[in-house]
Amino acid sequence: MNMSRLPRFLRLCASLCVFCAIHAQAAETLVISTGNGPPFTTPQRDGFFDQLLAEAFRRVGSQAEMRVHESSERALINANLGIDDGVAARIKGLEVQYPNFVRVPEKLFDNDFVAYSLHFEFATPDWQSLAPYHVAYLIGWKIFENNLAGKREATQVKDAAQLFSLLQQERTDVVLYERWQGLWRARAMGLPVKTMEPPLARQEMYCYLNRKHAELVPKVAAALAAMKRDGSYQRIFDATLTSLVGNK
């Protein structure tokens, strides 16, 4: 080896090492946890969150993929401990209970809580509109428990499959659930459900990152906002969610 060229060679090696380190860091895949299955996440990674967050993180030079936990609480705990890198589809204010959370301030979507029925169709401007009907909902969904406290004609079940089976078997008049997961479940079971409007409740849903990724928070927020402006957000929303409305 020509010793006179050694310093330049070493400089090139050092530059290559820095490039590889930066590339490896950029290519690291962040895991965002959720308790939501289809149509928000799917095994094929083509659900709403799968596509939306993959694109948002891609725009800031990172990679992200969804991890589904059957336990909603487990998704929160893992993200707070840093086992997962973040958590998706949560309401404001979780920083109080989970101190390692930093909220991405640009919302993911509005979560509508609605009533479904096979044989009834009525307006739902308030919770009192459910009074004439037997309703069913999931154990632990506080938004329903708190607003239906004391209602005799109500059944609680452990999962969505049981919930919509009650409707299919005509063992309840109405089931209460989240709009898009409900439409997906009804389509999967071949149930021609009617969705009551307006929503009984609506909540803005956000993504949180563990504080070790705090520097990404404003960047991801800006990417989500840009996607809403350039139409890519709406294209993903329509392909994964709005398309369910005509395929019940």
Domains of the chain, start order: 3-110+205-244 (3.40.190.10), 111-202 (3.40.190.10)
Distance (Å, whole) CA 62 – CA 56: 9
Distance (Å, whole) CA 162 – CA 6: 71
pLDDT at residue 71 in the model? 81
Q: Among all chains, which residue has been given the structure tokens 């289809």?
A: 38
pLDDT at residue 8 in the model? 56
pLDDT at residue 7 in the model? 57
DSSP state of 20: H
pLDDT at residue 87 in the model? 97
pLDDT at residue 28 in the model? 80
The pTM score is 0.84
pLDDT at residue 27 in the model? 56
Distance (Å, whole) CA 72 – CA 178: 15
Q: What is the mean pLDDT of each run of 10 residues along the chain (248 residues)?
A: 49 48 59 95 97 98 95 91 97 95 98 97 96 93 88 89 97 97 96 97 97 98 98 98 80
DSSP state of 82: T
Helix ranges, the chain (H): 6-27, 48-59, 72-81, 142-147, 160-168, 179-189, 217-230, 232-240
List CB contacts of 164: < 8 A, sequence separation 6 or more: 175, 182, 185, 186, 189, 191
List CB contacts of 207: < 8 A, sequence separation 6 or more: 32, 53, 86, 87, 88, 89, 90, 103, 104, 108, 220
pLDDT at residue 153 in the model? 86
Distance (Å, whole) CA 148 – CA 130: 9
